[in-house]
Structure 1
Amino acid sequence: MKKLKSYLGWKTDFTVPAGERAYAAPDSISWKVFKNPIALAVGGVAAVLLEFADARIRSGVWDHSVFKTDPIGRSQRTGMAAMVGVYGPASAARRVIQGVTNMHARVGGKTPSGEDYKALDVELLDWVSATAGYGFLTAYDRFVKPVSYEDRCRFYEEGVEVAKLYGVENPLRKPEDFDAMLAHLLPRFEPHPINTEFLDIIKSGQAARNVPTALHRALANASVSILPAEVRERLELGPDYDLSFAGRQAVKLAGKVADRTPIKGSPPADAAIRLGLPWSFAWKGDAAKRRILSEAAHRDVQAAAE
């Protein structure tokens, strides 16, 4: 029996309905980035650190989710929601995102300093969306393959429609948009023990016990290394989190190997099957992808003519 991917109780089969498109196209930068588990791991941790820099988001997650008891599981479920937005059939993505929005509508409270917050505050929604895009893209660029400015803009544009489904009003469209948002929020950022506790959990290897602990430590420090310098300074993540030369090389090697190692049953593999493409499509080179898509379009035209 096929094991369905799950997010907060919503079961998603990425192989059906046959032919239903995702919000990101098969030849998109998003399909290229999100297939890489190293980019997702490094970028995901960096995104959490950027979010937790703001006391309103940190309090919302800490007080209204299972993060403090199951940070790995919560992070993995968040990652699966991102996968649905990139690879899932559009109808499933809308269903999951509406469920997340309904849940967030009940989240609100006060920070330890007494400031009110609501999870559906537009400023917070914008920042959470921005941190995810920045984290995944920057991790891919630094540790897998360099991404041109034009492709960075493409990546952000590809995520606009899904971001708006979450209620984001100012989605990233270019790298400068992230810089501007960061400059606006930076004065609010502050260090907190939750950040170091989270990084210690990542370094411990709980997320994947079959991976050497040394690589987990390198992945955690790699996440810190892609934070903007001013954010790292404000969070007081000092020399203990420096990424060594050996650690950098290990993460890069893992990222490059992952980028050319197809994984059967993964969301990108199942999404390709749903669209009538080879299951390993996401891992193929750009030239091969163009050929496959051209052949698929030709078959569609022939079928329509018959």
Structure 2
Amino acid sequence: MSAATIQDHGASGGRPTPGHGLPRIDYRGPAGAPALYSPDSVAWHIFKNPVALFVGGITAVLLELGEPRVRSGVWDHSIFPTQPLRRLQRTGYVTHASVYAPADVAERVIRAVNRMHDKVEGITPDGRSYRANDPVLLDWVQCTVGFGFMEAYSAYCRPLSMEEKDRSYREAEPVATLFQAHGAPRSVADQQRQFAAMAPLLEPPPIIGNFLDIMAKTPGVPAPLRPFQAMMIRAAVALLPDWARALLELDGPQWRLRRWDGLVVRRLGALFERLPIPKTPPVEASLRLGLPANFLYRGRKG
């Protein structure tokens, strides 16, 4: 159960920093080594864009924090409340490894994450027991992650067709299985059914305000994007379904995405669709597979 499914694509100089017990990754080698996702996958395009990563990650975490057992696992067993930047870097490391690293390296990283999650368990404030590797909770986290990043990319970077969205969920199945989320969505319809099933279990936690305040103050995006971080947070809130925004008490005017904000975030997302960031996992992985450094940045037809 990740403490913050927000990826840092620049706070550590572009290359995500490994956490304790996780290996450093050479995304450039060995030459030709395939990743868990193919270069023409939807994921390779989504996770290259720091706007989609930051916005979509916040959306996903807001949904995760609404589930009491996930929330306790996140807040009580994580360094995020006290060392948010380090936690963002670590989570970014795991996500980029899952998408772009050589497959054998990615599998080792995922196994290490699973072992760490095996140790996370406890009791919620209202007396419910939880385990981070509870299949129901793993499925919910995978569902929120798929929804957050994909919808952020589609809304603010490049619109995705329904076929592409369904394909994104299908492509993620092997990785979701490695993370032990065997019931993760396989389509948009699956995702909507999981939202409907989980909605009665969600509640508005007071720590959501703490989380958003931390995100506003933590440099979780590349330096050129930091002046726009507050409007990107509002863009993340705007991605929530209406029922979730109301339930989490995020429908007030301070969280409303103004028309100008939305236009700016979309312009930024479009810019990073065309702007390769040297020495980052998407660029290095493309080079490893004999593709141009700008392979993911040349435009793409659905």
Q: What TM-score results when the alignment is normalised by the length of structure 1?
A: 0.89
1:171 — aligned with what? 184
Q: Is 1:7 the equivalent of 2:18?
A: yes
Provide closer, same or farther for how the CA distance between residues 4 and 71 of structure 1 changes in structure 2, counting only shifts above 3 A. Answer: closer
Aligned partners of 2:286 and 2:295 also within 8 Å: yes
Task: Indicate the larger mover: 59-68 or 3-12.
Answer: 3-12
One-letter amino acid of the counterpart of residue 200, structure 2: P
One-letter amino acid of the counterpart of residue 132, structure 1: V
Which residue, out of 92, 102, 111, partners 1:79?
92
Q: Is 1:116 the equivalent of 2:129?
A: yes
Task: Indicate the larger mover: 203-212 or 108-117.
Answer: 203-212
CA–CA distance in structure 2, aligned partners of residues 5 and 62 of structure 1: 22
Where is the helix percentage greater, Structure 1 or Structure 2?
Answer: 1
Aligned partners of 1:23 and 1:87 also within 8 Å: yes
Aligned partners of 2:69 and 2:124 also within 8 Å: yes
CA–CA distance in structure 1, aligned partners of residues 264 and 167 of structure 2: 29
One-letter amino acid of the counterpart of residue 68, structure 1: P
Q: Is 1:252 the equivalent of 2:266?
A: yes
Which residue, out of 141, 157, 161, partners 1:148?
161
One-letter amino acid of the counterpart of residue 89, structure 1: P
Deviation of the 1:283 alpha carbon: 1.0
Q: Secondary structure at the match of 2:146?
A: helix
One-letter amino acid of the counterpart of residue 166, structure 1: F
CA–CA distance in structure 2, aligned partners of residues 266 and 213 of structure 1: 18
Aligned partners of 1:66 and 1:74 also within 8 Å: yes
What are the equivalent positions in structure 2 for 1:195-206 lying under 5 Å apart?
Answer: 195-204=208-217, 206=219
CA–CA distance in structure 2, aligned partners of residues 4 and 168 of structure 1: 27
Larger radius of gyration: 1
CA–CA distance in structure 1, aligned partners of residues 184 and 126 of structure 2: 29
Q: Secondary structure at the match of 2:17?
A: strand
CA–CA distance in structure 2, aligned partners of residues 245 and 214 of structure 1: 17
Q: Is 1:64 the equivalent of 2:77?
A: yes
CA–CA distance in structure 2, aligned partners of residues 33 and 104 of structure 1: 26
Aligned partners of 1:4 and 1:11 also within 8 Å: no
- Residue by residue over 1:54-77, the C-alpha shift from the partner in whole angstroms, topping out at 9 and shown as x without a partner, is 010110111111011122331332
CA–CA distance in structure 2, aligned partners of residues 55 and 124 of structure 1: 10
1:292 — aligned with what? none
One-letter amino acid of the counterpart of residue 297, structure 2: W
Q: What TM-score results when the alignment is normalised by the length of structure 2?
A: 0.90
Q: Is 1:275 the equivalent of 2:289?
A: yes
CA–CA distance in structure 2, aligned partners of residues 176 and 76 of structure 1: 32
CA–CA distance in structure 1, aligned partners of residues 66 and 282 of structure 2: 31
Moved segments of 4+, more than 3 Å: 3-6, 208-214
Aligned partners of 2:70 and 2:132 also within 8 Å: yes
Gaps of 5+ in 2: 1-13
1:286 — aligned with what? 300
CA–CA distance in structure 2, aligned partners of residues 103 and 212 of structure 1: 32
Aligned partners of 2:150 and 2:165 also within 8 Å: yes
Provide closer, same or farther for how the CA distance between residues 34 and 213 of structure 1 changes in structure 2, counting only shifts above 3 A. Answer: closer
One-letter amino acid of the counterpart of residue 291, structure 2: L
Aligned partners of 2:84 and 2:218 also within 8 Å: no
Which residue, out of 250, 274, 278, partners 1:264?
278
Deviation of the 1:179 alpha carbon: 1.0
Which residue, out of 154, 170, 188, partners 1:157?
170
CA–CA distance in structure 2, aligned partners of residues 213 and 260 of structure 1: 19
Deviation of the 1:5 alpha carbon: 4.4
